Amino acid sequence: MTFGADFPLIYLAEGKDLTMNDIHSLHPNKLTITMWDFSWYTMTLPGEPYHDLAARFAEAVERGYNTIRICAMPFLLFTAEGPRPVR
């Protein structure tokens, strides 16, 4: 079975169930991981590094990465007591 980049959405839209073999075949044999710190979330204004996320993703692929691990900034979302209050 050969899959394009949009495989999961098309496959599920057709009402087909994914088997474990289907899911496994979506993943590369080797992961090359880049880690993005919280800058991907905080530096998004025009002229800043992550203003164009699609371009940053494309650049990661050009550099040979097939996985992006992001810092989701939990320290800004939660406190020791639970979710941070909304201001």
List, for residues 31-74, the tens digit of each pLDDT value.
Answer: 899 998 878 877 888 999 999 988 998 999 999 998 888 887 76
Going by pLDDT thresholds of 50, 70 and 90, the confidence category of residue 2 is very low
Going by pLDDT thresholds of 50, 70 and 90, the confidence category of residue 1 is very low
Dist. CA 77–CA 55, nearest whole Å? 27
pTM above 0.75, yes or no: no
Going by pLDDT thresholds of 50, 70 and 90, the confidence category of residue 15 is low
